[in-house]
């Protein structure tokens, strides 16, 4: 390593070397922005799929006669209503955030759109994970019941309904993980500005 001392102006340099640390180039930031866009599309597909699956989950079982039926729908369980609405909100946000992600691809050195995405991605990641966790606890009770409180598992009777909702919860938690990965990716891109 070569160092030089500049005595002429009375100031010593911090460090000069022939192999100085270089900031990432525009191409690296553009690659990060393209990755952000693709992950954002995957998270949007996961949240949209989860919301649609829960909204369409419905099963009816006959009880003694054809005229008396038991029915399981998402709106019978408030946690699933919250789950569907939260995933719909996150899907809407992800659709609206796509233009900002495109701006980050076109102008990879712009920090303001990236900062806005970080702030709102954090809020949406929290909403997605909260909705998925609340629904996961209810689905766990639906599958296993609770013998201490005499809650019987009803997934033995409503198997199709429970499978659909369980798959939607998994999709939502995958979307939450993707949103957390977007946060890390965006924070890394902001750090290198």
Q: How many domains does the chain have?
A: 1
* Whole-number Å distance between alpha carbons of 120 and 183: 10
- Does 7 have pLDDT greater than 60? no
Is residue 10 in a domain? Answer: no
* Whole-number Å distance between alpha carbons of 173 and 167: 10
- Per-residue confidence at 20, pLDDT binned at 50, 70, 90? very low
Is residue 19 in a domain? Answer: no
Is residue 181 in a domain? Answer: yes
Between 60 and 120, residue with greater pLDDT? 120
Computed over every residue of the chain, the mean pLDDT equals 83
DSSP, res 151 = B
Each residue's pLDDT tens digit, 101-148: 999 889 888 888 989 999 999 999 999 999 999 999 989 988 888 888
What pTM value is reported for the model?
A: 0.79
- Does 16 have pLDDT greater than 70? no
Is residue 4 in a domain? Answer: no
* Whole-number Å distance between alpha carbons of 107 and 192: 14
Is residue 64 in a domain? Answer: no
- Does 10 have pLDDT greater than 60? no
| Average confidence (pLDDT) over 67-95 | 86
Is residue 81 in a domain? Answer: yes
- Does 8 have pLDDT greater than 80? no
Between 63 and 190, residue with greater pLDDT? 190
Is residue 31 in a domain? Answer: yes
Each residue's pLDDT tens digit, 29-39: 888 889 999 99
Is residue 186 in a domain? Answer: yes
The answer to whether residues 129 and 173 touch, using CB atoms and an 8 Å cutoff, is: yes
The answer to whether residues 137 and 93 touch, using CB atoms and an 8 Å cutoff, is: no
Percent of the chain at pLDDT > 70 equals: 79
Domain range for residue 182?
24-56+74-190
């Amino acid at each position: 390593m070569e160092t030089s001392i500049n005595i002429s102006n009375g100031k010593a340099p911090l460090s000069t070397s022939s192999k100085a640390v270089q900031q990432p180039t525009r191409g690296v930031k553009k690659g990060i922005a393209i990755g952000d866009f693709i992950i954002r599309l995957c998270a949007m597909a996961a949240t949209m799929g989860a919301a649609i699956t829960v909204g369409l989950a419905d099963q009816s079982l006959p009880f003694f006669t054809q005229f008396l039926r038991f029915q399981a729908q998402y709106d019978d369980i408030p946690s699933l209503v919250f789950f569907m609405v939260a995933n719909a909100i996150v899907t809407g946000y992800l659709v609206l955030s796509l233009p900002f992600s495109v701006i980050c691809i076109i102008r990879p050195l712009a920090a303001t759109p990236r900062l806005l995405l970080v702030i709102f991605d954090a809020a949406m990641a929290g909403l997605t994970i909260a909705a998925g966790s609340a629904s996961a606890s209810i689905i766990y009770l639906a599958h296993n019941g609770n013998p201490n409180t005499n809650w019987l598992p009803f997934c033995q009777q409503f198997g199709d309904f429970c499978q659909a909702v369980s798959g939607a919860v998994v999709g939502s938690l995958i979307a939450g993980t993707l949103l957390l990965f977007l946060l890390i990716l965006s924070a890394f891109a902001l750090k290198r500005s």
